[in-house]
Amino acid sequence: MNLTLKIWRQKNADDKGQLVDYKVTDISEHMSFLEMMDVLNEQLINKGEEPVAFDHDCREGICGMCSMYINGEAHGPDRGITTCQLHMRSFKDGDTIHIEPFRATAFPVIKDLVVDRTAFDRIQQSGGYISVNTSGNTQDANATPISKIDADKAMDAATCIGCGACVATCKNSSAMLFVGAKVSQYALLPQGQVEATERVLNMVQQMDDEGFGNCTNTGACEVECPKGISLENIARMNREFLKASL
């Protein structure tokens, strides 16, 4: 298939940036979206032009590196996948595809489609950990009984790969789905109780300090999340926050 791409090009963080039109031809519908971007970049390199910078790593939907806002949606039009899992069969011959970086004041553009998501790392560092005895007499994890329901919910929350699609999608650039998931995965388990109070207070404080917006419960994040993280996690974070504050 032949496509017109409107791609955000920005030399560096200080550059104003703009959408630039590119044509790609003979794209196979079996290619992933990132492979299509590889084809474009080879084309650009052969012409002596600067290739488009974009984030990618595992290319199998688990690392959370690939981003891109494709035709007005984080990770493109399909549900429950990252951009590397998006295939060109989701588009039609002759389509024009808008490709922009994830937008949020807390995710500044570094170059082209690459944004700085280290704000997530700082939130995680502020409370996303537990105290574990590492002195040699560590308790067997299976010795602590955990209800199946709580274990499943904690696991669901822990599937968050921190890609930032929730922030990119949110009309307020709120990070509450990410923080909700990170708070929930510990709040549901006995191992997380030791730091429960400080964790939620510190992570929410860090989230606010990073300049993320306020959640207005549109639910867009839940729809666009490649891992299907539920709004239940935001509600749980709110409960944890109130419990810790009052």
Note whether 146 and 203 are within 8 A (CB): no
Smallest separation (angstroms) from another protein to the CB of 222: 8
106 makes contact with another protein (CB under 8 A): yes
238 makes contact with another protein (CB under 8 A): yes
217 makes contact with another protein (CB under 8 A): yes
73 makes contact with another protein (CB under 8 A): yes
- Binding another protein (rule: CB under 8 A), the pick from 220, 226, 227, 229 is 220
Q: For the window 26-65, what string marks contact with another protein as x by the rule CB under 8 A?
A: ----------------------------------------
- Binding another protein (rule: CB under 8 A), the pick from 207, 226, 227, 229 is 207
- Binding another protein (rule: CB under 8 A), the pick from 4, 11, 19, 58 is 19
98 makes contact with another protein (CB under 8 A): yes
Note whether 210 and 180 are within 8 A (CB): no
Q: Which is nearer to another protein, 48 or 94 (CB)?
A: 94
Q: Which is nearer to another protein, 85 or 174 (CB)?
A: 174
Name which of residues 158 to 177 contact another protein (CB under 8 A): 169, 171-174, 176
20 makes contact with another protein (CB under 8 A): no
Q: Encoding tokens for residue 190?
A: 């006995």
Q: Which is nearer to another protein, 88 or 179 (CB)?
A: 179
Q: Encoding tokens for residue 82?
A: 């990252």
219 makes contact with another protein (CB under 8 A): yes
If you write DSSP's letter for every residue of the chain in order, what string do you get?
--EEEEEEE-SSTTS--EEEEEEE-S--TTSBHHHHHHHHHHHHHHTTPPPPP---SSSSSSS-----EETTEET-SSSS--GGG-BGGGS-TT-EEEEE----TTS-EEETTEE--HHHHHHHHTT-------SS-PPPGGGS---HHHHHHHHHHHT-----HHHHH-TT---HHHHHHHHHHHHTSGGGSTTHHHHHHHHHHHHHHTT--------HHHHH-TT---THHHHHHHHHHHHHH-
**Chain positions contacting another protein, by CB under 8 A:** 6, 8, 19, 69, 71-73, 77, 98, 100, 103-106, 169, 171-174, 176, 204-205, 207-208, 211-220, 223-224, 231-232, 234-239, 241-242, 245
